[in-house]
Chain A
Amino acid sequence: MRILKEIILQCKGITKQYSNTRALEQVDMQIRQGEIYGFIGENGAGKTTLLRVIAGLISPTEGKLSLFGKDDEQGLAKGRKRMGCIVEGPAFYPSLTAYDNLEYYRIQRGYPDKDCINKALKLVNLENTGKKKFKQFSLGMKQRLGVALAIMGNPDFLILDEPINGLDPGGIVEFRGILKSLSKEHGMTILVSSHILSELEQVADRYGIIHQGRLVKEFTQKELELNTRRYLSVKVEDAAAAAAVLEQKMGITQYEVLPGNELRVYSHLDNPAEVTFQLTSNQIRVMFIREMGGTLESYFLSAVAQKEK
């Protein structure tokens, strides 16, 4: 029996109306404990607006938000104390050092353990910045300091808005490692928004696609793998005969027959010549064979296109 984990975040019908634009429209979202939720959308789709609602920076026009199962004002306030956030990029006092900026927030949040600053700085590799002021930091360092603040109090729920922006390739790899470690070793639930989809693809367990303020699709990593799985698209004259050849002569079981005498073969991606050879050797005319399949990007684009239709 599958045990359902605690719901950390639940949005029900969240709508945000500004004077003449609707930034969010009836957004329903649910995140369970331990998940890394990849929140995908183009610029201006409504990602940051939803994160602002969750962080309490703005109030929704309609809808209900619940954190850790509580949706009343007090419950939300308590829930937010269990959250770590970077919304709209890292924001710190420019003339303070990394340590002093975190010390400021440690005092403000009442964390008794002073060592939590060093631990957080170490986790994001900023422990040796010494007297360098925030204003002298590179964008990547600023992003990492933002993550350090977000994780400083060991939150149960982490919200990261476009955290990969400005990171160099090395920084992105490092950051991916940090996210995985926070999720696996510290059991944190993470909501991470990005438009760099290839990066989300490598860390997220579940995804939500937002488009023009609406959550158009939610799917798991498994569903994504299934839908973006690479395959050989083979168009033949007789699909049934071709399927028999694939099974009996080549031992291929991972394939699908589609209407229009098309087959999708999920193995032998590295050797399409062999597939062609076997089919033609068995008098099956091959019209075309090519490797196909998607990425999160193509899946995202097709989901958005479907919604627009």
Chain B
Amino acid sequence: MLNIIRSDLFKIYKGKAFYGVMLGLLGTIILVAGIFKIIQTPAFRASMSTHEEMFDADDIVGVEEAQQYMPSNGGEFLVLMNQELGSSFLFFLLPFVIAVLGADYSSGAYRNLLSYHSGRGGIYAAKMLTSIILTVLMLVCTSVMNIIIGGIVFGFGGFTGTVLLGTVKSIIMMLPILISLIGTAHCVLAFTKKTSTTIAFYLVGLTVWSVILQIPAMLIPGMEWLLQLDFSSSIKMVGQYAMNADVKIMVPMIFSFLLIAGTYVFGMIKYKTTDFDFS
């Protein structure tokens, strides 16, 4: 099992996809930091104040008020990004992890794997562990990039022990939710054996799942808690929890662990008994 993980990490290291995705993420972080920086410039504030007067919009957050949410140093930028990190992971980085997981199917290399390693349970577990390692690696890299870019753009102030510990905590707390999504995708892969179908299922599923939860949550009184099962919301909550322990995250955590266990069992059973007989 360890050899399968090692070989997959070698493949990621040798391939270009991981670096490409990380470069894309770096570009996004630079863009976000740049926008925040521009918003904070006196010229931009003056221009926005003029617009505010022109539209006389009472319900729009005022420029001065909005400035309060803008990071004034690298530490604040890191906290802000930690809270918003989830959405980039859900729609940008996890599909990449699924693509790595599904590369065996798209290249046909699963034939070489299965004809040598007969213990399919071990293979399934190894692939799952590889994708978890990859996710952790990407979370850490993203946080490091946030620290560096935030520091360069907003200055290296604010990186207190609380902020850094909060970042580590948010990575750890985010993991069960991300693993539950990877586990679901891995399970779908075991059924469809097609990477593209699985990624499409994953992205469409995220949106549909969110809609399914929102309808009863809005229409039926007392069902608001369902929103906590929405992955985007739960990741945001976990990000907030890292800095504020009052945020309740019990429901999304339990749901994640149940999803991990369920999809793992279903996926494993399917993977162990399936015929790999398509060309």
Q: What residues make up the interface of A, taking CB atoms closer than 8 Å to B? A: 49, 52, 55-59, 73, 76-77, 80-81, 83, 85, 87-89, 91-96, 100, 103-105, 107-110, 149
Contact = CB atoms under 8 A, between A and B. Distances in A.
A83 B118 CA distance: 12
A77 B3 contact: no
12 contacts: A55-B115, A58-B276, A83-B116, A85-B111, A91-B108, A93-B107, A103-B10, A104-B11, A107-B6, A108-B7, A108-B113, A109-B117
B130 to A, nearest CB: 11
Interface string B90-110: 000000000000010001111
A77 B277 contact: no
Contacts, number: 86
User: Is chain B's binding surface mostly helix, strand, loop or mixed?
Assistant: helix
A42 B31 CA distance: 59
Contacts of A105: 7, 112
B3 A108 contact: yes
A149 B119 contact: no
Nearest to A159: B115
Nearest to B16: A95
Given A58-B275, A89-B108, A104-B7, 18 more contacts: A52-B277, A57-B114, A57-B276, A58-B276, A80-B116, A83-B115, A85-B111, A87-B115, A91-B110, A91-B112, A93-B11, A94-B107, A95-B15, A96-B11, A107-B3, A107-B6, A109-B3, A110-B3
Contact of B114 (A55, A81, A110): A55
Contacts of B276: 52, 57-58
Contacts of B117: 108-109
Contacts of A73: 118
Contacts of A83: 115-116
B107 A91 contact: yes
Contact of B277 (A58, A93, A109): A58
A77 B118 contact: yes
Contacts of B4: 108
A56 B114 contact: yes
Interface string B4-46: 1011001100111100000000000000000000000000000
Contacts of B68: none
Contacts of B279: 88
B275 A80 contact: no
Nearest to A110: B3
Interface in B106-157: 107-119
B115 A80 contact: yes
Contacts of A56: 114-115, 118
B129 to A, nearest CB: 14
Nearest to A81: B116
A76 B115 CA distance: 11
A75 to B, nearest CB: 10
4 A-B pairs with least C-beta separation: A91-B108, A108-B7, A77-B118, A55-B115
A96 to B, nearest CB: 6
A150 to B, nearest CB: 9
A31 B277 CA distance: 24
A77 B121 CA distance: 13
Interface string B206-239: 0000000000000000000000000000000000
Given A49-B277, A57-B111, A91-B111, A107 B7 contact: yes
B275 A57 contact: yes
A73 B272 CA distance: 13
Nearest to B126: A108
Contacts of A149: 112
B275 A55 contact: no
A144 to B, nearest CB: 15
